Chains A and B, each alone.
Chain A
Amino acid sequence: KAGVTQTPRYLIKTRGQQVTLSCSPISGHRSVSWYQQTPGQGLQFLFEYFSETQRNKGNFPGRFSGRQFSNSRSEMNVSTLELGDSALYLCASSFSVLAGGSPGANVLTFGAGSRLTVL
C-alpha cells in the first residue's frame, strides 16, 4: 500500500512569505503528526491531528499552524517565514492514538519530508 505522501518535496521561499505543506497519510490512518528537523535541534514535534482535531501542539510560535481534513489529509502552514524556519518538515501517520501501554497502534510512519529553504 502507498506510504505517507508529502508535497512539495523541495521549496525555496524568501523571508516574510508564507508556505503550505501537504501530507496524505497511509490509507486507513487517522492520525497525522508534523515534525521539524534541523541539524541543530534535531526532530521536534509541531502538532498532531486526529479526526480533524488538534490533539497536541509543540513549542512553536503561532506562525506555525495546521489542519486536518475529513479524509485525514493534513496541511501545515508557516506564515511570515524566517531564516530559521529552513528545515526538513516531516509528516507521520499512524492508525490511531492510544494512551499508555499499547504502542503498536501509535507507531509512526514518516513521509519523505518537505525541505524548505528560506532565503
Chain B
Amino acid sequence: QKEVEQNSGPLSVPEGAIASLNCTYSDRGSQSFFWYRQYSGKSPELIMFIYSNGDKEDGRFTAQLNKASQYVSLLIRDSQPSDSATYLCALTGGGNKLTFGTGTQLKVEL
C-alpha cells in the first residue's frame, strides 16, 4: 500500500461546479497535510495546509482533514478552467520531508 493514495483521474467537472479531490494516507503519525497544485510543465505551488481535524477555508478552496479515518480532501468551489491542473496531496510527520501522492488531474470544462 502506498503511503499517500490519490485517484489519478482525470476528474472532469463543468465550470462553476464543485470539484472534490480526495487523499488517504497510511501513517497515523502524520501531522501536517498540504495541497499543492501543479500546472503542466511547472513546479508545484502551495494551495493550503491543514493540521487540525475539521475544515479550513481559503477563498474558493476548503481543505478537510479527518485523522481518525486518515483522509484529507480539497474542495474547489465555482471551478474555473484555470483550475485545470494536477493536485498533489502531501504530508509530513514533522520536519520538511514531505511524502507526496501521485496527484489527481483535474479538468474543468467550459
Interface residues of A (CB under 8 A from B): 31, 33, 35, 42-45, 48, 50, 55-56, 58, 90, 92, 94, 97-101, 103-104, 106-113
Q: Mostly helix, strand, loop or mixed at chain B's interface?
A: loop
Stretch binding the partner chain, chosen from B16-24, B74-82, B99-107? B99-107
Give A17 to B45 CA distance when docked, in angstroms. 32
B interface residues with partner A (beta carbon < 8 Å)? 31-32, 34, 42-46, 49, 51, 88, 90, 92, 94-103
Q: Hey, which chain B residues are within 8 Å of A56, CB to CB?
A: 95-97
Q: Return the chain A residue nearest B4 by Cβ.
A: A42
Whether the pair B94, A100 counts as a contact (CB closer than 8 A) is yes
Whole-angstrom distance from the CB of A76 to the nearest CB of chain B? 15
Tell me which residues across on chain B come within 8 A of A92, comparing CB atoms.
96
Q: Assess whether B43 is in contact with A108, with CB atoms less than 8 Å apart.
A: no
Q: Are B44 and A48 touching (Cβ within 8 A)?
A: no
CA distance A103 to B56 in the complex (A): 14
- Docked-complex contact B95 and A48, CB < 8 angstroms: yes
A108 & B45 in contact (Cβ 8 Å cutoff): no
Q: Contact check: which of B31, B45, B98 meets A101 at CB < 8 Å?
A: B31
Complex contacts, A108 vs chain B, CB 8 Å = 34, 46, 96, 98
Interface pair A42/B101, CB less than 8 Å apart: yes
